[in-house]
Amino acid sequence: MREFAQTLESRVARGQSFDCLISGDAELRRLNRQYRHKDYATDVLSFPASNAALPKAQRILGELAISADRALLQARDCGHALGDELRILMLHGLLHLTGLDHETDDGKMARAESRWRKTFGLPDGLIERARR
* Whether the Cβ atoms of residue 129 and residue 77 lie closer than 8 Å to each other: no
pLDDT digit string, tens, across residues 33-65? 999 999 999 999 999 988 666 666 667 899 999
Q: What is the pLDDT of residue 56?
A: 65
Q: What is the pLDDT of residue 70?
A: 97
21-35, 56-70, 77-91, 109-123: which has the minimum mean pLDDT?
56-70
Three-state DSSP state, 11: helix
Question: Rounded to whole angstroms, how far apart are CA atoms 87 and 95?
Answer: 12
pLDDT > 90? residue 128: no
Reported residue count of the chain is 132
Neighbouring residues of 55: CB distance < 8 A, sequence distance ≥ 6? none
Among 84, 88, 89, smallest CA distance to 64 is for 89
Question: Rounded to whole angstroms, how far apart are CA atoms 114 and 120?
Answer: 10
Question: Rounded to whole angstroms, how far apart are CA atoms 2 and 102?
Answer: 26
Q: Strand 60-67 relative to strand 17-23: parallel, antiparallel, unpaired?
A: parallel
- Give the Cβ contact number of residue 3 at 10 Å: 7
Running DSSP on this structure, what letter comes out for residue 121? Answer: T
Q: What is the pLDDT of residue 103?
A: 84
The pTM for the full model equals: 0.91
Handedness of CA 50, 96, 61, 24 (dihedral sign): positive
